[in-house]
């Protein structure tokens, strides 16, 4: 078997005593361990902020005198040694949930293919919720000790940077990222040469190199076509995430699906489970069947083997989120594939033919659904919607018997919790509470936290958000080119102690960012109440080619700029993971207003709840399962509408009524002699107690393992690759 290697480049000139900072910088374990982040920030806190919390860039730029200084600081060195011991113990322990629960399955890899991975803002290979879910899933797989390996893309320009003009129009700006400033390592062969794979496209082969990202114990491999073997056009195939050009999209999905399988084979993996996170990776089905045909299986045998070992997660009921390709595009790009599968064109198209939309198309979700044994939506309601949506694929079954289950999304606790709140939980939930975040009994201890302590942390997180917004606005002003009203729209006038509502997500029309703006006069009366003011922070991007989403941003921004709002309406541009952390930790109420049932799950409200923020949401996605009447508020009714206009009207009225009659009075209630909002904190504790375990990523990954992975993991692969290595 050929060997491969990735090694930390010797680009850092570090004192020997703290030399392992370079190793730590290249393992994203540090992203969910605050003590590891503080190892860098304590060297030079200003530079840590200037480098956007990127330890690789930080170590390249930090002054040698700063490094020498901490080597003479015994308190820093004790902290350094303690943190590295935690890291080493994490990386080497054999006492993980998976190895203790399923000791005989530890060498049966699980491959996870996703178009995007949201691991940290310093690695911009994600666009939104799908990528954040992938990143959290990968981190929790590491924490639980699953034999996990990820496949995705390295996007040299990533997703776009959002710039909002004075008129509120979103502009997309792209930057080519410098590889030597990112926590990615090239995959090299034993001779030090880049390892590549290739896929066949019309009249040519396209090659891709690989980068490895260490996510705790999990290796994540990113495909990159920007290599010298390719033409300039092909080198750009992996430059940007989610281009609107269909030729580009199908090429990327061929690379992810077919190329992803080949990459794992070159690396020596023979996974027992192949998990497709959304339909983008569904071409993987074709490549795996082709392999089995070459091993002398019949098509029917090959298809059944592939089906038994595939898991498919669908994330959206919105048609735009389910990729379909016109048949002429399939003819152009995949003609050689159906020949390799010994199928006629019609037989090949029938693998994924969708006749429900206008004209026949080749549907990626249909291909994934037909050739996966494990199929799931991402909330209970979404499971129902998915069964209804794809019922036609199983016409002989009743809708409720369609074989699509649901696993409700969760969040990776360590990534999203505020540090001071983590310290508070350490004291009252126990030092090992992070190992049991999915245990509801653990969270009963939240009731023992004194009100004044949890309120002090909540006020700290609000001040931290306000300070962050002021600094962003200051930098906007210093850089120039902005109208003063845009600086005001950036949040400089917000009161850190006033009731603050957050609305931050992708700007798609069905998410109804403008629902709270449906009665401007009524809203302005709320925000300008001198005794009980309300502040609302908006953030989010629209796909750069989606005019409807950009118009929605413009509508919101124009209202935010109005002087009548007194600076209490804010729009923060360029929403990313860093901004998300400040928002989900620092606001009081998290607002979500999708037009039900289009929100498959959502996870931002789960992150907010973990941090003591109360949810105020339509009963869609995860909130329909989480809301109990005492841990937040529900907008509208628990029902589906056939008339969207009526739905908007009733939801808008419900939103305003609850704000006026319940939320605002509760926050500003007459407080006791200690100045604490007792009834508000009762809801905060109820929210933390009930939602934190139920919507943890730990619960979610265990559920995937027990319900969807385990049946195939317990079987031995029918097709054994002679040189397959097992994931460590």
pLDDT (0 to 100) of residue 617: 98
Of 517, 505, 462, 470, residue with least CA distance to 490: 470
* Per-residue pLDDT band at 305 (split at 50, 70, 90): very high
For 2-46, what is each residue's pLDDT tens digit? 556 666 666 688 999 999 999 999 999 999 999 999 999 999 999
Q: At 358, is the secondary structure helix, strand, or coil?
A: coil
Residues paired with residue 405 on neighbouring β-strands, in sequence order: 376
Cα–Cα distance measured from residue 278 to residue 43, given in angstroms and rounded to the nearest whole number: 41
Six token digits for residue 422:
């983590």
* Phi, psi angles (nearest 5°) of residue 212: -110, 135
pLDDT (0 to 100) of residue 112: 98
- Give mean pLDDT, residues 102-115: 95
Pairing of strands 614-618, 632-635: parallel
Query: b vs e for 139-167, b when ≥16 Cβ sit within 10 Å of the residue's Cβ?
Result: bbbbbbbbbbbbbbbbbbbbbbbbebeee
pLDDT (0 to 100) of residue 123: 95
Q: Does residue 388 contact residue 406 with C-beta atoms inside 8 Å?
A: no
Q: Does residue 365 contact residue 322 with C-beta atoms inside 8 Å?
A: yes
- Give mean pLDDT, residues 362-385: 96
Cα–Cα distance measured from residue 254 to residue 208, given in angstroms and rounded to the nearest whole number: 12
Cα–Cα distance measured from residue 449 to residue 467, given in angstroms and rounded to the nearest whole number: 27
Residue 136 is inside which H or E element, if any? helix 129-144
The proportion of the chain whose per-residue pLDDT surpasses 90, expressed as a percent, equals: 87
* Per-residue pLDDT band at 726 (split at 50, 70, 90): very low
366 pLDDT more than 60: yes
DSSP state of 660: I
196 pLDDT more than 60: yes
- My answer on whether omega of the bond before 597 falls inside 30° of 0, hence cis, is yes
For 67-84, what is each residue's pLDDT tens digit? 999 999 999 999 999 999
pLDDT (0 to 100) of residue 7: 64
Instruction: Return the biggest CA–CA distance within the chain.
Output: 80
Q: Does residue 601 contact residue 314 with C-beta atoms inside 8 Å?
A: no
Q: How many CB atoms lie within 10 A of CB 109?
A: 23
Least confident of 410-419, 452-461, 474-483, 614-623: 474-483
426 pLDDT more than 60: yes
Cα–Cα distance measured from residue 663 to residue 591, given in angstroms and rounded to the nearest whole number: 12
651 pLDDT more than 60: yes
513 pLDDT more than 90: yes
Q: Does residue 592 contact residue 604 with C-beta atoms inside 8 Å?
A: yes
DSSP state of 193: P
155 pLDDT more than 70: yes
For 601-639, what is each residue's pLDDT tens digit? 999 999 999 999 999 999 999 999 999 999 999 999 999
Q: What mean pLDDT is reported for the chain? A: 93
* Phi, psi angles (nearest 5°) of residue 127: -110, -40
Cα–Cα distance measured from residue 271 to residue 269, given in angstroms and rounded to the nearest whole number: 6
* Per-residue pLDDT band at 248 (split at 50, 70, 90): very high
* Phi, psi angles (nearest 5°) of residue 612: 85, 15
Q: What's the order of all strands across the beta sheet hosting 499-504?
A: 569-572, 534-539, 499-504, 589-592, 614-618, 632-635
* Phi, psi angles (nearest 5°) of residue 196: -130, 160
For 703-717, what is each residue's pLDDT tens digit? 999 999 999 888 766
Following DSSP, what letter does each residue of 551-615 receive, concatenated?
HHHHHHHHHHT-GGGTT-EEEESS--HHHHHHHHHH-SEEEE---TT------HHHHHHHTTPEE
Q: Which residue has the tokens 């309120």?
A: 455
DSSP state of 282: T
Of 277, 266, 274, residue with least CA distance to 118: 277
Q: At 236, is the secondary structure helix, strand, or coil?
A: coil
243 pLDDT more than 90: no
Q: Does residue 80 contact residue 18 with C-beta atoms inside 8 Å?
A: yes
* Per-residue pLDDT band at 724 (split at 50, 70, 90): very low
Of 315, 319, 246, residue with least CA distance to 276: 315
pLDDT (0 to 100) of residue 9: 60
* Per-residue pLDDT band at 1 (split at 50, 70, 90): very low
pLDDT (0 to 100) of residue 13: 86
Six token digits for residue 46:
């200003």
Residue 313 is inside which H or E element, if any? strand 310-313
Domains of the chain and CATH, by start:
4-92 (no CATH), 97-409+703-713 (3.40.50.2000), 413-695 (3.40.50.2000)
For 527-567, what is each residue's pLDDT tens digit? 999 999 999 999 999 999 889 999 999 999 999 999 999 99
* Per-residue pLDDT band at 357 (split at 50, 70, 90): low
């Amino acid at each position: 078997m050929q060997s491969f290697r990735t090694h930390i480049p010797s680009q850092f000139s570090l004192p020997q005593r703290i030399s392992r900072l370079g190793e730590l910088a290249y393992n994203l374990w540090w992203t969910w361990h605050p003590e590891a982040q503080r190892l860098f920030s304590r060297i030079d806190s200003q530079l840590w902020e200037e480098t956007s919390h990127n330890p690789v860039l930080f170590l390249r730029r930090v002054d040698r005198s700063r490094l020498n200084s901490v080597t003479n600081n015994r308190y820093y060195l004790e902290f350094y040694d303690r943190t590295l011991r935690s890291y080493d113990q994490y990386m080497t322990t054999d006492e993980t949930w998976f190895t203790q629960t399923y000791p005989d399955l530890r060498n049966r890899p699980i491959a996870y293919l996703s178009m995007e991975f949201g691991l940290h803002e310093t690695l911009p290979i994600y666009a939104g919720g799908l990528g954040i879910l992938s990143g959290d899933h990968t981190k929790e797989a590491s924490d639980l000790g699953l034999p996990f390996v990820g496949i995705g893309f390295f996007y040299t320009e990533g997703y776009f940077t959002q710039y909002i003009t004075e008129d509120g129009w979103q502009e997309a700006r792209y930057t080519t990222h410098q590889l030597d400033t990112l926590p990615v390592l090239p995959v090299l062969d034993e001779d030090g040469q880049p390892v590549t794979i290739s896929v066949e496209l019309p009249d040519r082969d396209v090659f891709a190199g690989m980068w490895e990202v260490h996510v705790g114990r999990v290796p994540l491999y990113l495909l990159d076509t920007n290599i010298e073997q390719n033409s300039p056009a092909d080198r750009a195939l992996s430059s940007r995430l989610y281009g609107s050009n269909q030729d580009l999209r199908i090429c990327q999905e061929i690379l992810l699906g077919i190329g992803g399988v080949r990459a794992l084979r070159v690396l020596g993996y023979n996974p027992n489970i192949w998990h497709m996170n959304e339909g983008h990776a569904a071409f993987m089905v074709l490549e795996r069947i082709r392999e089995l045909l070459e091993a002398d299986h019949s098509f029917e045998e090959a298809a059944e083997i592939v089906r038994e070992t595939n898991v498919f997660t669908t994330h959206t009921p919105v048609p735009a989120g389910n990729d379909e390709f016109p048949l002429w595009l399939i003819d152009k790009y995949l003609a050689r594939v159906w020949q390799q599968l010994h199928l006629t064109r019609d037989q090949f198209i029938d693998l994924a033919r969708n006749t429900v939309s206008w004209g026949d198309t080749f549907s990626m979700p249909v291909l994934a659904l037909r050739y996966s044994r494990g199929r799931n939506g991402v909330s209970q309601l979404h499971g129902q919607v998915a069964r209804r949506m794809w019922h036609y694929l199983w016409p002989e079954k009743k809708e409720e018997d369609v074989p699509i289950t649901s696993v409700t999304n969760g969040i990776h606790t360590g990534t999203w919790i505020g540090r001071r709140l983590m310290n508070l939980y350490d004291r009252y939930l126990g030092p090992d509470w992070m190992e049991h975040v999915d245990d509801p009994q653990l969270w009963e201890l939240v009731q023992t936290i004194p009100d004044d302590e949890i309120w002090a942390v909540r006020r700290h997180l609000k001040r931290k958000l306000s300070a962050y917004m002021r600094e962003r606005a200051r930098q906007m002003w210093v850089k120039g080119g902005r109208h003063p009203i845009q600086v005001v729209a950036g949040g400089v006038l917000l009161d850190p102690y006033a009731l603050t509502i957050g609305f931050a997500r992708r700007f798609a029309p069905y998410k109804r960012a403008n629902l709270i703006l449906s009665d401007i006069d009524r809203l302005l009366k709320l925000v300008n109440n001198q005794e009980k003011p309300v502040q609302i922070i908006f953030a989010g991007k629209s796909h750069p080619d989606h005019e409807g989403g950009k118009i929605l941003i413009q509508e919101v921004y124009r209202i935010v700029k109005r002087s009548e709002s007194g600076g209490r309406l804010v729009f923060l541009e360029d929403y990313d993971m860093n901004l998300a952390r400040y928002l989900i930790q620092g606001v009081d109420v998290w607002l979500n207003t999708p037009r039900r049932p289009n929100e498959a799950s959502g996870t931002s409200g789960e992150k907010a709840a973990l941090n003591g923020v109360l949810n105020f949401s339509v009963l869609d996605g995860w909130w329909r399962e989480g809301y109990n009447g005492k841990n937040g508020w529900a907008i509208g009714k628990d029902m589906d509408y056939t008339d969207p206009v009526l739905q908007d009207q009733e939801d808008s009225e419900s939103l305003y009524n609850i704000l006026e009659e319940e939320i605002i009075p509760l926050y500003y209630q007459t407080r006791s002699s200690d100045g604490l909002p007792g009834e508000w904190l009762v809801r905060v504790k109820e929210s933390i107690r009930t939602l934190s375990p139920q919507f943890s990523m730990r619960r979610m990954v265990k559920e995937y393992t027990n319900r969807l992975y385990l049946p195939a993991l317990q079987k031995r692969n029918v097709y054994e690759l002679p040189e397959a290595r097992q994931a460590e």
